[in-house]
């Protein structure tokens, strides 16, 4: 099976879906002539032309709203945000319009849009460029939220997201763009709402999404080698819809849980998972649910401090040992 990068996997998904369905188009800042700020859309303009790969001015509210409006007629836009942080200037269009139009019309309309782009810290770009708003988006009935951690999941989930008739918020990670993995050539999808046990184990459940999955796997290897602990890593992949069954099955097996994500603590994704587990698997727990989040402050610039602010293998390991104690 070919080994390609997460970035290339996204590129393949976009290209394949654009071939499959002429209604699919890509729009965003620098997606065309520049070949993408992070090169995710490299080559697509040359291949599909300016009608379908559209460079936008810096007008997120304008072009996200245009995408939503066009989707009401059956166009299927993939709207790139250069940073998911920029969603804030388009909040009304993303989380008022796209999320609510179906409901407010009593089910007469649907908005089959995908909004995608990197949602991550760790690149020293400071507080206004480092948002991870999967928790904020997931708080809005009407949207779906997806956060792939691997190249395989990125391609399969993006294809599923593009085919989904509801608005999908698709969150990538600039640091993961270069990660390599086995990705089948050709068509396959990863359905939304299905978590993936990336590593099976018996002593501890680590639930994570996005880059935290990669860190969790590193920690699981250390736990095995140096502490004789068998940790199970559950990659959510999809925040909304949420695969509750896989999470709960893991907890019932291991009886100890550590939640890891890059959100700030208050109302991060972990808060919702913790509620679920204590509500549905209270008697299966041998210890309180613990969580590793970002340290609760706007994202700091100073590079070594940002590393410490974010969940990292050292902090995750320390927390894991705490749950196991």
Partner 1 sequence: MSKESTAETGHDIAVSSVEGQSALAPINARLTAEQRIDLYRTLVRIRRFEERSLRAYQAGKIGGFLHLYIGQEAIAVGCCSVMQKDDQVITAYRDHGHAIAVGMDLNPLMAELYGRVTGCSKGKGGSMHFFDPSRNFWGGHGIVGGQIPLGAGLAFGLKYLGRKGACLAFMGDGAVNQGAVHETFNLAALWNLPVVFVIENNRYSMGTSQERSSAGLSLAQRAAGYHMAWDTCNGHDLYAVREKTAQYLALARDEFKPSVLEIDTYRYRGHSVADPDKTYRKKAEIEEYQKTRDPIQLFQNLLRGAGVLDDALIAQIDAEARTEADRAAEFAEASPYPTVADITKDIYWEEDHPEKKVSQGRIVFD
State the nearest-atom distance from the C-beta of 65 to partner 1, in Å.
2
Q: Among this protein's residues, is 17 annotated catalytic?
A: no
Cβ distance to partner 1 smaller for residue 125 or 189: 189
55 burial type by CB count under 10 A (0-12 exposed, 13-18 middle, 19+ buried)? middle
Question: Which CB, 194 or 287, lies closer to partner 1?
Answer: 194
Give residue 190's region: left, alpha or beta (phi > 0; psi -120 to 50).
Answer: beta
Would you call 215 a catalytic residue per the annotation?
no
CB of residue 59 to partner 1, shortest distance in Å: 4
Treating both helix axes as pointing N-terminal to C-terminal, what angle do 313-324 and 211-227 enclose, rounded to 10 degrees?
60
CB of 160 to partner 1, least distance (A): 7
Q: Which is nearer to partner 1, 209 or 215 (CB)?
A: 209
Q: Which tokens sit at 298?
A: 């706007």
Scored b (16 or more CB within 10 A) or e, 89-101 reads bbeebbbebbbeb
Minimum distance, C-beta of residue 99 to partner 1, in the bound complex (Å): 9
Cβ pair 118, 83 in contact under 8 A = yes
For residue 241, say if its preceding peptide bond is cis, omega within 30 degrees of 0: yes
Q: How far is the CB of 76 from partner 1 (least distance, A)?
A: 10
Give the CA distances from residue 253 to residues 14, 19, 256, 278, 283, in Å, rounded to whole numbers and listed in that order: 38, 44, 9, 15, 12
β-bridge mates for residue 291, sequence order:
259
CB-hemisphere CA count at 13 Å for 157? 31
d(CA 285, CA 194): 23
Which is catalytic among the residues 30, 42, 129, 224?
129
For residue 78, give the 3-state DSSP assignment: strand
**For partner 1, which is the closer residue by CB, 238 or 254?**
238
Please state the closest distance from residue 155 (CB atom) to partner 1, in A.
16
Q: What DSSP character marks residue 200?
A: -
Residue 51 vs 266, nearer CB to partner 1: 51
Which CB atom, from 276 or from 321, has the smaller least distance to partner 1? 276
Q: What are the Cα distances from residue 28, in Å, to 88, 169, 170, 239, 321? A: 15, 15, 14, 24, 44
The catalytic position among 16, 17, 60, 172 is 60
Q: Which residues bind partner 1 (CB under 8 A)?
A: 23, 25, 51, 56-57, 59, 61-75, 92-93, 96-97, 101-110, 112, 141-142, 144, 160, 163-166, 189, 191-195, 238, 240-245, 272
Point out the residues that are catalytic. 60, 129
């Amino acid at each position: 099976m070919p080994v390609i990068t997460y970035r290339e996997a996204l590129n393949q998904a976009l290209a394949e879906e654009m071939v499959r369905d002429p209604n699919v188009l890509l729009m965003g800042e620098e997606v065309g002539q520049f070949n993408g700020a992070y090169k995710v859309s490299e080559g697509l303009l040359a291949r599909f032309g300016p009608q379908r790969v559209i460079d936008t001015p810096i007008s997120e509210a304008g072009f996200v709203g245009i995408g939503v409006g066009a989707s009401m007629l059956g166009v299927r836009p993939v709207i790139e945000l250069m940073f998911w942080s920029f969603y804030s200037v388009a909040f009304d269009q993303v989380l008022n319009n796209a999320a609510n139009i179906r409901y407010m019309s009593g089910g007469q309309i649907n908005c089959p849009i995908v909004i995608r782009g990197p949602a991550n810290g760790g690149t020293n770009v400071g507080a206004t460029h480092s948002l991870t708003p999967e928790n904020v988006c997931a708080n809005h009935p009407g949207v779906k939220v997806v956060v792939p951690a691997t190249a395989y999941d990125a391609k399969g989930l993006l294809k599923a997201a593009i085919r989904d008739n509801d608005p999908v918020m698709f969150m990538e990670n600039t640091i993961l763009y270069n990660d390599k993995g086995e990705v089948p050539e050709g068509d396959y999808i990863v359905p939304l709402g299905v978590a993936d046990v990336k590593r099976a184990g018996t002593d501890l459940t680590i639930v994570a999404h996005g880059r935290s999955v990669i860190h969790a796997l590193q920690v699981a290897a250390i736990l095995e080698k140096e502490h004789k602990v068998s940790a199970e890593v559950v990659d959510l992949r999809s925040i909304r819809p949420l695969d509750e069954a896989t999470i709960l099955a893991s907890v019932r097996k291991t009886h100890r849980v550590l939640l890891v994500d890059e959100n700030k603590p208050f109302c991060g994704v972990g808060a919702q998972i913790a509620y679920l587990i204590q509500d549905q698997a209270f008697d299966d727990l041998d210890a309180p649910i613990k969580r590793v989040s970002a340290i609760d402050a706007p994202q700091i610039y100073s590079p070594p401090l940002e590393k410490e602010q974010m969940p990292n293998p050292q902090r995750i390991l320390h927390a894991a040992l705490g749950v196991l104690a």
